[in-house]
Structure 1
């Protein structure tokens, strides 16, 4: 045998998925379902519970820890795999002529930015027509305003005289109702954008887990990965401030997150004889989706979470150094743990 080993043959076509440990792969559907659902549902249910008295500090930890998890996920678990997938040897040489993964990530960031920009301009103009003032940064309330899942519209009536007629009072009540409705819609859209980015990633890693040759290592890592990511999503869902008619939204969001990876695993097992995660088609699809998802989570993590929970949060800026240090350390811990898991998955 020659001392120079031939490179391993690359399979760029269909098939090629591992078929061993089938029973454990099936069991992983339910194990990850329990872990991810528990991580996402616990903050939501605990905050609503009248008998489970969870200290506020625990919720704060989960919230900031989850922010760090989301930011690390965007770079380590989405953007890096996208660069690898779109740099695969199975792709045509033209894919290597330009950093398509970074370009798609950039495109995703600016699409979310433009959507928010248009929505805020429209929403602010509507509030002004109703005689209300909207502080986009929520400086007077001490929490960020209409950004993302923790949205709070800081609306103040214009300095007009007190209403003297019933019609004026009715108009004021109608304006307040519209403001609450707009706030609820803004929060739901914000969390939907966040969940969309996470859901794409979760389905893709489920597909990969179903056919990956190194199943045991990846499975063990993904149990923690999905639980921590669920905690990040659940902490955002738990702090949504919605009218009673929308009280089902946080629970539905947590349930949907819990189902995404198990669905991906189930689909992967069903197509294990034809699905090859390293094939040309799979590399393009996963690379494009991971790139777009990375942009969504980068924008959400840096703008919606970091900027509006720290820089634009009056309570955080004017609060004690201990509280600020606790929040920052919690966030860094979440980011560090999720980044470390990227060593194996």
Structure 2
């Protein structure tokens, strides 16, 4: 807290500061982003100002920078998760204090790709002392998504065979580690022999290489690994190129869970096909629908941080990008060149931030 005071990051009433933020000016196609200075509004009722120390960068954020997650055409700041320090309280805030370390996920207006943001307290998660800011920034979004998938949507039972498709991502790794902790039998799908060892280190009992570019699928191998029975669920982050194989390796009454589409959207499916393949279920969950109130958010945080403390979930940060290198970071993510990565905002210049008490 003393460090933040020395930088002059606690607000005064005289003026507002300008902060650097990523701004999307054009939606559709390749991302069109610029880092600009914007005025930070004062926090309103039940809101706080959070000065960021590390920012999560996940596949949905890449889509958001393209404008793929909404139809709005106004200039906006994307970003769905970040970690930092509370530097100002709005009215009605009773259970948070200035200087407190917090993280947040899914604020209603996004805005995490910035030096600071004004966030509703309903989105805040207090951080335990045993996790660093950078670890938390990398873990929050995939961790909450894994909690949604494995605790709320498809509660795993001991011995359940599952497929996790795309272990190269932070989300895929967290789901596999969490599923292993729950004693499921985890079959990981990777796109290269180089990724096999990484998948095994991140919770997979078995690993299958899927080379979509040469028409090599994974359904037959998964069936063989499960003695022909198939798996209870497929957690898919790929989409188009793996959709058919994912359905083929499901057991009767199995569930296909779409958590991303790095290869494009899955093809249109006739509902009768699901019945004919054994009463299959398809789910496309959205995290925002599972953390709509603080009780749900804190429930997920408790599970997540307890597993992290116990060492059941570890997050390897593949790359750290300065905030002003956002275009390079988005290109690397879109091409699948990096796994879990985060954005690092610049240290604020105290000359540009008004001094408070």
TM-score band w.r.t. shorter chain: under 0.3
Structure having the higher strand fraction is: 2
Q: TM-score, normalization: structure 1?
A: 0.23
Q: TM-score, normalization: structure 2?
A: 0.23
Task: Say which one has the larger Rg.
Answer: 1
Query: Whose RCO is larger (CA < 8 A, sep 6+)?
Result: 1
